[in-house]
Amino acid sequence: MSGHSKWSTIKRAKGVADIKRGLTFTKIANAITIAVKLGGSGDPESNPRLRMAAEEARGVNMPKDNIQRAIDRGLGKLPGQTLEEVMYEGFGPGKVAFLVEGVTDNKLRTLQAVKNIFEKSGGSLAGQGSVAYMFDRVGEIKVKSKGGNMEEELLELIDLGAQDVEDYLEDNIQKYLVYTEGSELNTMGNKITQGGYSGVESQQLIFKPNILVPITDPEQAQKVLEFVEKLEELDDVQAVYANFEL
């Protein structure tokens, strides 16, 4: 089993309050709209990506009317500009590699905003493929422990078919990050639930780093964390992935 996911390390280092601040209703509404558009359906039961986005919306108490408007927008029932997915690759402080996922109705605006943050932080955007090869597209499932022996639960999750499992504490609660093939994400989530784990908190496709950059200097680590926060605060940015190891 590998060390902790670098992005999960970032999130835990930043704290839950900062995470929730980044999860604005605008971001989630855009995620729902693009999920409907790409999935061709406004039914969460037949559109796994929409189901995950809707669950995230409910997790931050997003009003039902907002969720429905985002679905209707994806179905083309509401007027407005077309949303598109975008992906940026670049190097931030400490030569850390970053992938930035976004959803936007104005590519030029979003590109300029992301570029400004990279350049002001001493980094730079890079060409397509310059960074992506350092990450693997995988499914990530966040689940609470059943309250049993940690080593036994880790082995149990591996036996259920996980590619990798990482353990960590959050608010003094034992939790796991379970990784699987992207195409097996929903199947694996069902297996975990059937295995007696009632605390599945999230299921999502992520970019997991396969090449790591160690950061040992506290000042440098702070610069990287602040850089991530600036990117997260952009409404057009959906997710940020980095390959550093604290």
Give pLDDT tens digits for 61-98.
888 998 999 899 888 888 777 888 999 999 999 899 99
Least confident piece of the model among 70-84, 94-108, 221-235 = 70-84
**pLDDT recorded at residue 23:** 56
Most confident of the following: 28-42, 53-67, 89-103, 172-186: 89-103
Q: Which has the higher per-residue pLDDT, 179 or 47? A: 179
In this prediction, residues 232-242 reach a mean pLDDT of 90
Percent of the chain residues topping a pLDDT of 90: 36
| pTM for the structure as a whole | 0.79
Residues 6+ apart with CB under 8 A from 121: 92, 93, 223, 226, 227, 230
CATH 3.30.70.141 fits 136-209, yes or no: no
Q: What is the pLDDT at residue 54?
A: 87
Fold topology of 84-133+210-245? Alpha-Beta Plaits (3.30.70)
Residue boundaries of the structural domains of the chain: 84-133+210-245, 136-209
* Average pLDDT in the chain: 85
- Tell me whether domains 84-133+210-245 and 136-209 share a fold: yes
